[in-house]
Structure 1
Amino acid sequence: MTLAALLAFAGTTLLLVLTPGLDSMLVIRHSVAGGIRAGLATIAGTLAGTALWAAASVAGLTALLTASPVAYDAVRIGGAGYLIWMGVSALYKSFRAGKSTVDDAADQPLRPLRALRRGIVTNVLNPKVGVFFISLLPQFLPTTGNNTGWAALLVGIHLGLCAAWYPVLAVVGDRARTILRQARFRRILDRVTAGVLVGLGLKLALQSG
């Protein structure tokens, strides 16, 4: 593998990491809901889930998942159901908070352990993460010899870029807490997030392998 290939992979991955997506949305929302600790816990969960898919890709398990429509659809539908459930829950809580004189979200901030679990589950139940690795990595790997070490290096670059960018989003979410945790803004944030989650869940459910 050449330096040019490494730089090309890093550049491609950086663009993908900077593009707003489900992970970045979760990091910001959890940072608003639970502060910087919840945001960092979400990042840890996201990285752990991504690392699991990366390890599966390197081991060839993702290729098997891609080749088996039944297995792929099972993971896909499970992930879609989880996203829709989170979206509907957020929507329900936003209307419930609107009928109450007490800001329940402020009284019960998101705990880091829960944020960690959400980050892991959201990624593990999204087969598109695995397909991303199995489709992208081979384009930057040597065509001869044992590629396991190089694949691990590319995965490390990807995780490193995520680990460098997501804390920035966590800080932004944490700094915006004073405004966004006000009842009015919190309801808006919850409803926008709910719409995005349900939309992503439906999109994942309707997509074919």
Structure 2
Amino acid sequence: MSAATLLVFAGLCLLLAMTPGPDTFLVLRYSLSGARRGIAAAAGSGLGSLAWAGAVAVGLAALLAAYPTALQILKVIGGIYLIYLGISGFLHRDTITPVDAETGERSGTRLWAAFRDGIVSCLLNPKVGLFFLAVVPQFAPADSSPATATLILGAIDGVVAFVWLLVVSVVAAAAVQWLRRPRVGRILGNLSSAALTALGVATLSARTGT
């Protein structure tokens, strides 16, 4: 693959990453607890994207696309998980906003939980796998191994997504730190949780055709 091809693909990945979705709102929610937790969620999302690339490389995503029932089941699970994350954010909003007096970092969710949720959120989003199925063949050279090309492009997508979400996390955390107002933190936390819940409901509605 030429450098120009890789740059074009990276640009496409950046445009997709900048489109608000479950990963963006998840990172925003965790960023309210401090930049480190937002970055952990971003890293999990990037790794999940790479895992989807690996799944496409071995044919798993193509298998899901060939069997609509399996794909719909994955969408339902993903929708339910997003609703769980959103409701969990509402229930634990009081543990997200306090600032640790010693570290200056907001206490609450551990880094591992943020990283885990980033991975799971991405893995339960079949649109990521379908993206690789639809786009990778257009960028993979005819004389290269499809599996190798998919993994390379998947790594690029994962890195681009991580870098963008890292920027989102740092900016969001800095804004909250700058404002230093618990009420603002609660409002932002509620908004991000509501967005996750709405995305989950929208996913389930699309599944049932309502």
- Work out whether the TM-score is over 0.5: yes
* Aligned residue identity for 1:12: L
1:164, distance to aligned residue in structure 2 (A): 2.5
Distance in 2 separating the partners of 1:181 and 1:89: 23
Does the 8 A contact of 1:26 with 1:42 survive in 2?
yes
1:83, distance to aligned residue in structure 2 (A): 0.5
Distance in 1 separating the partners of 2:176 and 2:190: 16
Partner of 2:15 in structure 1? 15
Deviation per CA, 1:181-209: give whole Å up to 9, x if none.
63321221122112211211122122259
Gaps of 5+ in 1: 98-102
1:63, distance to aligned residue in structure 2 (A): 0.3
Distance in 2 separating the partners of 1:159 and 1:127: 15
Distance in 1 separating the partners of 2:84 and 2:163: 30
Does the 8 A contact of 1:13 with 1:158 survive in 2?
yes
Judged with a 3 Å threshold, the aligned counterparts in structure 2 of structure 1 residues 180 and 57 are, in CA distance, closer, same or farther, namely farther
Distance in 1 separating the partners of 2:191 and 2:155: 33
Gaps of 5+ in 2: 100-106
Judged with a 3 Å threshold, the aligned counterparts in structure 2 of structure 1 residues 104 and 75 are, in CA distance, closer, same or farther, namely closer
Between 1:120-129 and 1:20-29, the stretch displaced more is 20-29
| TM-score, normalization by structure 1 | 0.84
* Aligned residue identity for 2:30: H
Alignment of 1:4-83 (within 5 A): 4-33=4-33, 35-83=34-82
* Aligned residue identity for 2:182: A
Does the 8 A contact of 1:179 with 1:185 survive in 2?
no
Does the 8 A contact of 2:25 with 2:195 survive in 1?
no
Partner of 2:121 in structure 1? 122
Question: Equivalent residue of 1:110, what SS?
Answer: coil
Judged with a 3 Å threshold, the aligned counterparts in structure 2 of structure 1 residues 117 and 177 are, in CA distance, closer, same or farther, namely same
Does the 8 A contact of 2:28 with 2:169 survive in 1?
yes
Distance in 2 separating the partners of 1:48 and 1:157: 11
Identity between Structure 1 and Structure 2 (%): 38
Does the 8 A contact of 2:75 with 2:126 survive in 1?
yes
Question: Equivalent residue of 1:202, what SS?
Answer: helix
Distance in 2 separating the partners of 1:57 and 1:173: 33
Judged with a 3 Å threshold, the aligned counterparts in structure 2 of structure 1 residues 181 and 74 are, in CA distance, closer, same or farther, namely farther
| TM-score, normalization by structure 2 | 0.84
Distance in 2 separating the partners of 1:181 and 1:45: 27
Q: CA RMSD in A?
A: 2.3
1:56, distance to aligned residue in structure 2 (A): 0.1
